[in-house]
Amino acid sequence: CFLNGLGDHFKGIGHFIKSLNDDNLAIVKAKKLFKDPKLPGQLAFIKGNFNQLVHAILSLQERLSLAESIGILEMVQMQLTVEFFASKLNSTLELKDDQLALLFSCTPITSVDCKKVFSKLKSLLSDQRTSLTEACNT
């Protein structure tokens, strides 16, 4: 996880950034950020309060059933303790039943992988498959 690596190697990253030349605006901004005494505390706050989000996002990127995905969202909803972010998540997830039914009616049934496979099969079976014809020897 990026946050774990940054927190563990904060001083080393800071020394590396200080050693860079100021020929780039991004380097100048990075040096300014690393001089801020609040940065280590802010990173520790992020690591302590939002580490479960990284794991939840990685889990949601896998091919899970709808029930498992909803379970992950409910777990994050219970574990998120920072009030501003918890209220934002709750307001996003609190949809009326008719809105939820409308959203599910528009969701595709087939996955992206299936669509890619069908697209490749369709191009293979089409009449315009010029790459599969023999070359003429004259």
Assess if residue 8 is contained within a domain: yes
**Cβ atoms of 69 and 56 closer than 8 Å:** no
Please state the rounded mean pLDDT for residues 32-52: 86
Residue 63 structural domain: 2-127
What would the pLDDT profile of 50-71 be if each residue is shown by its tens digit?
A: 888 888 888 888 877 777 888 8
Assess if residue 87 is contained within a domain: yes
Those residues with Cβ within 8 angstroms of residue 17's Cβ, 6 or more apart along the chain or in another chain: 27, 30, 31, 34
Assess if residue 62 is contained within a domain: yes
Assess if residue 133 is contained within a domain: no
Q: Is the confidence at residue 129, as pLDDT, over 60?
A: no
Identify which of 37, 45, 35 has the alpha carbon closest to the alpha carbon of residue 3: 45
> Structure pTM?
0.50
What mean pLDDT value characterizes the chain?
A: 76
The total number of structural domains that make up the chain: 1
Q: Is the confidence at residue 114, as pLDDT, over 80?
A: no
